[in-house]
Amino acid sequence: MTTISRRTFMLAATAVGALALAGVAIAEVPKLEQKDKYKVGFAQTESNNPWRIAQTNSMKAEAEKLGFQLVYTDAAGSAAKQVADVNSMIAQGVDVIFLAPREEKPLIPAVMAAKKAGIPVILLDRSVDPSLAKAGEDYLTFIGSNFVEEGKRVAEWLVKNANGKSKIIELEGTTGSSPANDRKKGFDEAIKAAGGFEIVASQTGDFARDKGRQVAEALLQAHPDADVIYAHNDEMAIGAIAALEAAGKVPGKDVLVLSIDGGKEAVQAVVDGKIAAVVECNPRFGPKAFETMMRYAKGEKIDPMIINDDKFYDASNAAAELANAY
Ligand code: AHR
C-alpha cells in the first residue's frame, strides 16, 4: 500500500482548496490524512426513538473505543438545524463528517459546504437526492440498508401470509426522506405486481409513535374495512396498535400489522402476536462507519454504497431472536 508524506498531502489539499475557492467545481471527494487520532463529526437527525438512540450509541461507543474526539449534534427533527449543525462542525475543523440526512434535498447544501471546506462526508443510514449530489464525487459513500428491499420484503411476506386480508393502510415515514420514499416504492411495486391487494390510504406519520397513532386512528375511521397496516417503522406500528385497540380491534387477528426497524419492543410485539412481521433496519453503524473512514485515509478505494445486512422477524423466530434485538 502507498503512503504519502504529510507535506505531499498538504500540497495536494491546498491545491484542491484553491480550485474550490476559485469557484472551479472539483469532481473529487476531499482527501483524508492518515492520523492516529481524528476529530469526527456526527450530525444526527433526531433522537425521538430507539432506532436513533441505538445508532447514536453505536457511533459514540466506537469513537470512544478508538480514542477519537466525536463532535455530536442532534438536529431535533429539523433539516434547517441539521444544515447549521454541519456548518458548525466545519467551523470547528473536524476531519470527517458522518451525516444522517433527515431529508433528501434540504441537506444538499450541507454536503456541498463540507466538500468546499475540504472535509469528506460519509452518509449514514439516509441518503440525499442522487441527481443533486453523488457518491465518490460530492460525498464519499452511503452506508446503510437497502430501503427499497426492506419494503419489498414486507410485501413478499404479506403476499404469502395474507390469508384473505387485502385492504392496506400505509403509514409513511418523514416526507422527503429516503427511507420513506424507498420503503414506499419497494412495498407498493411488489404489492401491485402480486395483484389482489389495494392500498386504501397512504399518509405520513413522520416516523413518530404518536403521529402514527393519530393518523392510524383517522384512517381506520375512514376505512373501517382495512385489514392490513404497513408502517414504515416500529414507532408508527406501535402507535397503530394503540389506535386499533382503542377502536376495539384485535391487532394480529382483525388487522395484520407490518413494520420495519426491529427494535426490542416491536420484536416483543411479534412474540405477543400484535405485529405480524418486521424487517430489521440495522442501526449498529459504529464499527463499519469508522472502519470505512480509516480505509479511505489509507488510500483504499471505497464503494459508493455499503449495504448493511438486515434480519427478518415473524412468529417463526421472534422469541429466539428477542435477546439480540436492539
Ligand atoms: O432512516 C432510518 C429510519 O429512521 C428508521 O426506520 C426510523 O425508525 C428512523 O427514524
In this structure, the dihedral spanned by the alpha carbons of residues 159, 305, 179 and 196, taken in order and rounded to 10 degrees, is -20
pLDDT of residue 152: 98
Q: Provide the pLDDT for residue 257.
A: 98
pLDDT tens profile 198-219: 999 999 999 999 999 999 999 9
Q: Write down all domains in the chain, each with its CATH number in brackets.
A: 32-144+283-307 (3.40.50.2300), 147-281 (3.40.50.2300)
What secondary structure does DSSP assign to 231-297, as a single string?
ESSHHHHHHHHHHHHHTT--BTTTBEEEEEE--HHHHHHHHTTSS-EEEE-----HHHHHHHHHHHH
**CA–centroid distance, residue 98 to ligand 1 (Å):** 16
Q: What is the distance in A from the centroid of ligand 1 to the CA of 51?
A: 6
The pLDDT value recorded for residue 7 is 52
**Rounded Cα–Cα distance for residues 170 and 71 (Å):** 37
- The owner of cell 411479534 is 270
Please answer whether residues 151 and 182 qualify as being in contact, where contact means their C-beta atoms are separated by less than 8 angstroms: yes
Which residue out of 103, 147, 281, 282 has the highest number of ligand 1 atoms within 8 Å of its CB and is therefore the one to mutate? 281
Alpha-carbon 129 to chain mean position: 14
Ligand 1 centroid to residue 278 C-alpha, Å: 13
Q: Is the pLDDT of residue 1 over 50?
A: no
Q: Is 261 in the pocket of ligand 1 (CB under 6 A)?
A: yes
Which atom of ligand 1 lies closest to the CA of 45?
Answer: 10
Distance CA 175, CA 211 (A): 13
The best mutation among 233, 278, 282 to test binding of ligand 1, ranked by most ligand atoms within 8 Å of the C-beta, falls on: 233
The model's pLDDT over 292-307, given as tens digits with 9 standing for 90+, comes to 999 999 999 999 999 9
State in Å: Cα 283 to ligand 1 middle: 9
